[in-house]
Structure formats: structure tokens, C-alpha cells
């Protein structure tokens, strides 16, 4: 069922809205008649004439310099084999997405109905005027070798077959670090390699460039060991072939006293006994997918001195090509390299290896829910979410291109180049990937108070399946199961609790007694306290309050006041918090923006506005970001003496007095918060000069709510929220009609919130549950 669910989710993801995963967006204004006359005829003739006079100007007047073609004929797609060009298109679009989100490189995917290697080469060669680089993908061996070799000779733009070189570069970096930790020399160690396809051959050749010796390799393919008596080996494989007298050697024999095992073959071909027979302090890279040549648990169980890497996300040291190809192409494009040569690949290897030894930033520790990731046996290559990769690998590759003579452009200021690289992506926008990763590392129990809703059930199923949290559904079991069945939603192992049922009477009474103690002098008598526990929001909040759950999401079908009231009555505010506040997180091209108050306080006083800003600042720091706050008004620094403007000015004064180190200023118009030129020229005294504002505090609820909705609907920002601030324990109220995507995002927020606020035995409870066992199985 879980497999079928993931299949349906994948198909829906690709088909919903505009089919596929990519689109073309103009980079210039194209709204007026004048714009159109410049974009096309007659204005377009001018850059055409300039390029005709000087072909290099194509990089000045067109998108070529940031455009890569991802090209395949679909002959070796993932684990699917030769499925044809059309069926390979989702993979190529996906590759384009990775290029864009990790390195801001634009991609056209091209799927070609051509298996003849020479014709393939001729077609790609003819495309050279269009693209700044070519990424070959999922082309079977041995044709991929010929295609790449020929194109490297015939075209003057960078070409790379990521299936070969990406794996080689990342594993090469891991190898250097593993050898250092194991105190071994690359020219002395003995390698055993299982697999001799495109990736494996690229790996071993790169290892030779790093200092390994041909005579120290023993390689196997599907026909056995590579030996000099075989007539089916090409020139490259012959260099790694052993003496024909050893033609009968088996993998188990070769593994005895070997220092390094490299697997790029099939799963479960290596036994614990083979690992046990290896030399002291062995290195094992078992990179077959989805099942490695030997599991991480099996290998580490028999050797405590082993360093191991796999292609899996659920074990340490994942060899993931996304650590390399986006940044290698970024560096190559930025100096207009004619090719990606050995020097550039080696530069990437050393940059990735060296980065692993540097102190890991907090955002990476946060993403992987660890306190202090550091160089060692379980960290020999960087994590895929490390934001430093772009500004580390791309410059290293660019420098190597310049020094090796293949660059057609130089970079004058490398410090400025690194800053520009980081600005390309708005590094803060990795926040959602970071939150999701952190939630999955330490999942918690989330109560969904409105489980008799298709969106809630769909989101809960995804949250369960992806290991974000253990959902608990509140509502009538028959109704929930009927909705799930009608929409093909799998609820296996997800608990359903009906607060109104007879079997919950004892629990209702227990919760009711606690509620009565809290509210007995605030309008509730004993009978009402017991009775109200049949209401799901009250029951769910009491589950969180008593530790029967860690967080609650509600409000999808209720008005805000009705949904928030039980949380205030039962859970209450954090110590020192007088009023709660509501915040939205908007993901924009500038980076994340935190807006408050957007849901709770109608007309806060200056003191309350300062309190709201402090709550937001605290939450922003929990996202591992530095809050930089603009206190908004229609007035700029005293330009209006109205009570409304003076209230915001007073709130700003209070904030600065309370926390002098806080980056905050106001009152100011929204324009000033994002226009540094006007701010610097007219208000150079402002504490926000030179700062990238990421928090907007509005003078009242009307302004905040209207602004949030406009930014979301017209500005195209992705909104997450509302996030309630100031409660003792995590309860969040969904916006009326929230999408499944927003519910999942809010679940991530709730789990991370619970990790900070709920110190309980949740981990032990979850690990004993059927959900945990099934989630781990699904993950594998």
C-alpha cells in the first residue's frame, strides 16, 4: 500500500497544475508595446548585429552563458534501463530542477530519439551555439564514453556525463578523507572494485589521477575478474586487468587483505565474512542503489574500524552527485570554460574534501538535527544541504579552468565572486529543506483535530509515509475511514481516536478534571468541563498538555477564534509572554520574510508591538537566522506626527532599549525596508542600512493580514502559516482552506517546535510503535 501511495503521490506531483516541473520565465519586462518592440522586432536586430560582428557577444546579449542542456536518449535511466527518450523526460526535467535550485543554472532538457553514437554526437555538436554547457544523462555504456570523448574534441563548451564523473568526483573526495582518517596512502592501498560500467571506470581513472596505481586494482564485472586474457576489454579496462593466470579469482578471494572496496554493481553481493577478511582499518564504498553491495549495519557490525559510504540517505556518508555537478558547471560557465578537464575535476575533489574538515555551520547541524557534525568516520563528505558548497566548489573549478588554460574569461575579485554566488540563491531559502530534514531526524506525535477532511487525511498520510511525524487523527472512525477509502488514502497504523466514543469516557473524564482545575473560576462548572472534552479541539489540546501528544494542528474548517480558544484555555502562554501573536513565513525571491502580527492582535499598543517583535525575533533565531526587523508605518522616521506613526516609533524605541544588539529600525514605509539606495541616500543613520530585512512588523492586524494576502496571491510568494508564537506547547491554527502542501509545511514547523518545547520520552514511544517500524521499512 505504501508503495502504491508513493506512486500516486509522484504521479499527482508531476501532473497537478501545469504538467511537468519546469517553465520558461522572461528575465526582462515584456508588458508594454515598447518592451515588446525591444524584446523582438525591430529592437532585437541590434544585438543580432553585434553578435554577428563578434560571436563572443552572444554571452553579453543572450542567456547562453547560464544555459545548460541536459541531454539523454533514455538508454540507461536510473534503475529502469532502456525506457526510451519520452519516458526519460521526467528525469531530465528533475535534473534541471536540481541545477536551478542548487546553482541557479537554467536548463533545457533534450530527449533524443537516437541510439547511434556518431549521429548522437553530430546532433549535440550542432546545438553548441545555443548552450553554455552540456550535461549528458542516462546514456548507456560503452556509447557514453565515445560520445563524451568525441564531443570534447569537437565543441568549445563544457561537456560532462554526470553518471560517470559526478560519482567519481564525490567518491574521490570521500576516498581522500577516508584514507587520511585511516592513516593510509593512496599509492599503497589495494583496491577491489565490483562493477566496471561507466561510473566505475570513471572512478578508478580519477583515483589514478589522485595517485593510485593501476597494479593495485582488482576489478570485477558481470563476467568475472578483469584479466589480460579477456578479449572483450577496451584499452582503458586493459590497464586495470590482472595477470591471466589469476583468471579464476573470485570476489571473496580478492577481498582478503584489501584496503578499499568500491561497489558500483548490484545489491547484497558482499558478505560480512568478506568485510571481516579485509585489511586493518578498511574503507568500503558500497554504492549500488537502492540496495548497497552490503548493508551499513552488516558491515559495521563485523568491523568497528571500518569507514563506510553508500548511496543511501539513511546512513552516514552518502555519495550524492548533487554535491558536485551543479557547482562544477557553475564554475565552468562563469569563466566560459571550453571544456571540463581533469584539472577542474581534481579541483572539485579537493574543494569538497577540504570543506569537510572545516567547522560545520549551525544551519547544517540544524538540518540534520545534530549538535556538532565534525570530520570523522561518519562525516567524510559534506552534507547535500551545506550552503557553503556553491561558494566553495564553483570558485575552485573556475580557478582550475583559468590556470589550465581552458577559460575564456577571468574573475578579478574572488571574494566578490563568492558573495555573488551566495546571492544567486538567497541561501536563507533553504529553510524548508532544512526544516523537513530536521523534522525527520526526530519525529514527534501530531494531533489532527479535524481528521474527517480529505486534505487532512492526505497530508497525514504523506507526513506518516515520509517520516515527518506520527499523526494521530481525531474524529468518528467510520467517517474518517470512509473518506480515506473513497480517496484511496492509506491509514494503516495511523491511530484514530473518537473523543465522543464510549471507549474514551475514562480519558474524557481525566482530561475534564484537569480542565476544571484550570477553568473553574473562569466560567466553567464541573459538568461543562467534562462535557467539553467531547469537542475535538479541547480534547486535542489536552492531549498535548498531558504529553499524550507533542503538537496539534487545527483550524482548517473552523474560524480562527473558535480554533485558538482551547489552546489559550488549556495550554496557555510561555513564561513572560502576555499575549500570543500570529506570524507568516513567506518564501520570496529575496529570501524568507517573517510577517507579524497577521492573525491575532487587532490594534496593539507600543508595548505590545514590541512584545510581538521580540516573539518573532526569538522564532527567527530558531530557524537559525539573524532577525533584521523593519517596524512598518506610513511614516518615515518622524515624518508624520500622527498617533499611529508615533506608536510604531515608540515600539521601536522600546525594542532598542530592551535589546540593544537587535537589528531593528522604524518607523518606516515598506518601500524603505527593501530599497537600500533610497534608505542610504535619505536616512544614512538607519540601523538597517546595509542589512537585508527579513522581518516585517505591522502596526495592526489589518495591515499585516492584507499585506500577507497580497504578497501570497499577487506577489507569488509561497506562504507557510499562520505560526502561533508565545504558547507553552506547539498548537498551530491552519488557515481556512489550507492546501495539503501548507499542512505538511506546518507539520514540519510543529515538529521542530515540539523538539524545542517538549522534553519527553517521545522518541522511545515512537520507536516502539508500528508506525516507526513501517516508516523505517518504507525509507529503505
- Amino acid 703: pLDDT: 96
Give, for 231, the enclosing helix (H) or strand (E): none
What would the mean pLDDT of 284-312 be, rounded to a whole number? Answer: 94
What would the mean pLDDT of 353-365 be, rounded to a whole number? Answer: 89
pLDDT digits (tens, 9 = 90+) for 552-571: 999 988 888 888 999 999 99
What would the mean pLDDT of 338-349 be, rounded to a whole number? Answer: 98
Helices within 110-265 (DSSP H only): 117-126, 143-154, 162-182, 198-210, 235-238, 251-255
- Amino acid 362: pLDDT: 76
Cα separation, 449 vs 456, in Å, equals 9
- Amino acid 780: pLDDT: 46
Burial class (CB in 10 A: 0-12, 13-18, 19+), 416: exposed
pLDDT digits (tens, 9 = 90+) for 381-429: 999 989 899 999 999 999 999 999 999 999 999 999 998 998 887 655 5
Residues contacting residue 721 through CB under 8 Å, at least 6 positions apart: 582, 583, 584, 585, 598, 599, 735, 746
Q: How far apart are the first and last CA of the chain?
A: 15
Mean pLDDT estimate for the chain: 93
- Do 421 and 507 meet the contact criterion of CB atoms below 8 Å apart? no
What would the mean pLDDT of 740-752 be, rounded to a whole number? Answer: 93
**pLDDT at position 769 over 70:** no
Q: Cell 506547547, residue? A: 729
Cα separation, 37 vs 43, in Å, equals 6
All three cell numbers of 679, joined, read 534608505
Concatenated DSSP letters of 447-467: EETT-SSHHHHHHHHHHHHTT
Residues contacting residue 304 through CB under 8 Å, at least 6 positions apart: none
Residues contacting residue 411 through CB under 8 Å, at least 6 positions apart: 334, 335, 395, 398, 402, 417
- Amino acid 3: pLDDT: 64
Cα separation, 738 vs 455, in Å, equals 8
Cα separation, 494 vs 275, in Å, equals 40
Catalytic residues: 40, 95
Burial class (CB in 10 A: 0-12, 13-18, 19+), 670: middle
pLDDT digits (tens, 9 = 90+) for 73-132: 999 997 788 999 999 999 999 999 999 999 999 999 999 999 999 999 999 999 999 999
Amino acid at each position: 500500500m505504501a508503495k502504491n501511495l508513493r506512486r500516486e503521490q509522484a504521479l499527482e506531483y508531476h501532473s497537478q497544475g501545469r504538467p511537468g516541473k519546469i517553465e520558461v520565465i522572461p528575465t526582462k519586462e515584456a508588458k508594454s508595446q515598447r518592451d515588446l518592440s525591444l524584446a523582438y522586432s525591430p529592437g532585437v536586430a541590434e544585438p543580432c548585429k553585434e553578435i554577428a560582428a563578434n560571436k563572443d557577444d552572444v554571452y553579453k546579449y543572450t542567456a547562453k552563458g547560464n544555459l545548460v542542456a541536459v541531454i539523454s536518449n533514455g538508454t540507461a535511466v536510473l534503475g529502469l534501463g532502456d525506457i526510451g527518450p519520452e519516458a526519460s523526460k521526467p528525469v531530465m526535467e528533475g535534473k534541471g530542477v536540481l541545477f536551478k535550485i542548487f546553482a541557479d543554472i537554467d536548463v533545457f532538457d533534450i530527449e533524443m530519439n537516437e541510439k547511434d553514437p556518431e549521429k548522437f554526437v553530430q546532433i549535440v555538436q550542432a546545438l553548441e551555439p545555443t548552450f553554455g554547457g552540456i550535461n549528458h544523462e542516462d546514456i548507456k555504456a560503452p556509447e557514453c564514453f565515445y560520445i563524451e570523448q568525441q564531443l570534447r574534441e569537437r565543441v568549445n563548451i563544457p561537456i560532462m556525463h554526470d553518471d560517470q564523473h559526478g560519482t567519481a568526483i564525490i567518491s574521490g573526495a570521500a576516498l581522500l578523507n577516508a584514507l587520511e582518517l585511516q592513516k593510509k596512502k593512496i599509492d599503497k592501498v589495494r583496491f577491489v572494485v565490483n562493477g566496471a560500467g561507466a561510473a566505475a571506470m570513471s572512478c578508478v581513472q580519477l583515483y589514478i589521477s589522485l595517485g593510485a596505481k593501476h597494479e593495485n586494482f582488482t576489478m570485477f564485472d558481470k563476467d568475472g575478474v578483469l584479466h589480460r586474457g579477456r578479449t572483450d576489454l577496451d584499452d582503458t579496462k586493459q590497464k586495470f586487468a590482472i595477470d591471466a593466470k589469476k583468471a579464476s579469482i573470485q570476489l571473496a578471494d580478492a577481498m582478503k587483505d584489501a584496503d578499499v572496496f568500491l561497489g558500483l554493481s548490484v545489491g547484497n553481493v558482499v558478505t560480512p565474512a568478506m568485510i571481516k577478511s579485509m585489511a586493518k582499518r578498511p574503507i568500503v564504498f558500497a554504492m549500488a542503489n537502492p540496495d548497497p553491495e552490503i548493508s551499513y549495519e552488516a558491515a559495521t557490525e563485523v568491523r568497528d574500524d571500518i569507514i563506510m559510504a553508500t548511496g543511501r540517505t539513511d546512513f552516514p556518508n552518502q555519495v550524492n552527485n548533487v554535491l558536485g555537478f551543479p557547482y562544477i558547471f557553475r564554475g565552468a560557465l562563469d569563466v566560459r570554460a571550453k571544456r571540463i578537464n581533469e584539472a577542474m575535476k581534481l579541483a572539485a575533489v579537493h574543494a569538497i574534501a577540504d570543506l569537510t574538515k572545516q567547522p560545520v555551520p549551525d544551519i547544517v547541524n540544524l538540518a540534520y538535527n545534530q549538535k556538532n557534525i565534525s570530520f570523522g568516520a561518519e562525516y567524510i563528505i559534506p552534507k547535500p544541504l551545506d550552503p557553503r558548497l556553491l561558494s566553495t566548489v564553483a570558485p575552485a573549478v573556475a580557478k582550475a579552468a583559468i590556470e589550465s588554460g581552458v577559460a575564456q574569461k577571468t574573475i578579478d575579485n574572488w571574494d566578490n565572486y563568492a558573495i555573488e554566488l551566495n546571492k544567486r540563491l538567497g541561501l536563507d531559502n533553504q529553510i524548508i529543506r532544512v526544516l523537513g530534514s530536521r523534522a525527520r531526524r526526530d519525529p514527534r506525535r501530531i494531533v489532527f483535530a479535524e481528521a474527517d477532511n480529505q486534505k487532512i487525511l492526505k497530508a497525514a498520510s504523506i507526513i506518516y509515509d515520509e517520516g515527518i511525524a506520527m499523526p494521530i487523527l481525531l474524529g468518528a472512525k467510520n467517517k474518517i475511514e470512509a473518506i480515506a477509502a473513497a480517496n484511496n488514502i492509506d491509514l494503516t497504523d495511523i491511530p484514530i481516536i473518537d473523543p465522543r466514543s464510549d471507549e474514551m469516557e475514562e480519558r474524557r473524564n481525566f482530561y475534564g478534571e484537569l480542565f476544571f482545575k484550570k477553568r473553574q473560576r473562569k466560567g466553567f462548572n464541573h459538568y461543562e468541563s467534562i462535557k467539553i472534552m467531547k469537542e475535538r479541539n479541547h480534547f486535542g489540546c489536552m492531549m498535548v498538555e498531558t504529553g499524550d501528544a507533542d503538537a496539534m494542528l487545527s483550524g482548517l474548517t473552523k474560524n480562527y477564534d473558535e480554533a485558538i480558544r482551547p489552546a489559550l484555555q488549556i495550554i496557555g502562554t510561555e513564561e513572560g509572554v502576555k499575549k500570543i501573536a500570529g506570524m507568516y513565513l513567506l518564501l520570496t525571491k529575496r529570501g524568507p520574510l517573517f510577517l507579524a502580527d497577521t492573525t491575532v492582535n487587532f490594534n496593539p499598543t507600543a508595548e505590545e508591538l514590541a512584545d510581538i517583535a521580540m516573539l518573532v525575533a526569538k522564532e527567527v533565531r530558531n530557524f537559525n537566522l539573524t532577525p533584521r526587523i523593519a517596524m512598518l508605518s506610513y511614516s518615515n522616521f518622524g515624518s508624520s506626527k500622527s498617533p499611529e506613526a508615533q506608536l510604531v516609533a515608540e515600539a521601536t524605541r522600546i525594542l532598542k532599549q530592551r535589546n540593544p544588539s537587535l537589528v531593528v529600525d522604524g518607523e518606516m514605509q515598506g518601500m524603505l525596508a527593501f530599497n537600500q539606495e533610497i534608505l542610504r541616500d535619505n536616512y544614512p543613520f538607519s540601523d538597517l542600512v546595509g542589512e537585508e530585512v527579513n522581518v516585517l512588523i505591522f502596526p495592526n492586524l489589518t495591515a499585516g493580514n492584507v499585506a500577507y494576502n497580497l504578497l501570497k496571491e499577487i506577489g507569488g510568494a509561497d506562504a507557510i502559516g499562520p505560526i502561533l508564537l508565545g504558547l507553552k506547547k506547539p498548537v498551530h491554527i491552519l488557515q481556512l482552506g489550507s492546501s495539503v502542501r501548507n499542512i505538511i509545511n506546518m507539520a514540519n514547523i510543529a515538529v521542530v517546535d515540539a523538539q524545542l518545547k517538549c522534553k519527553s520520552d517521545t522518541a522511545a514511544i515512537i520507536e516502539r510503535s508500528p508506525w516507526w517500524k513501517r516508516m523505517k521499512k518504507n525509507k529503505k
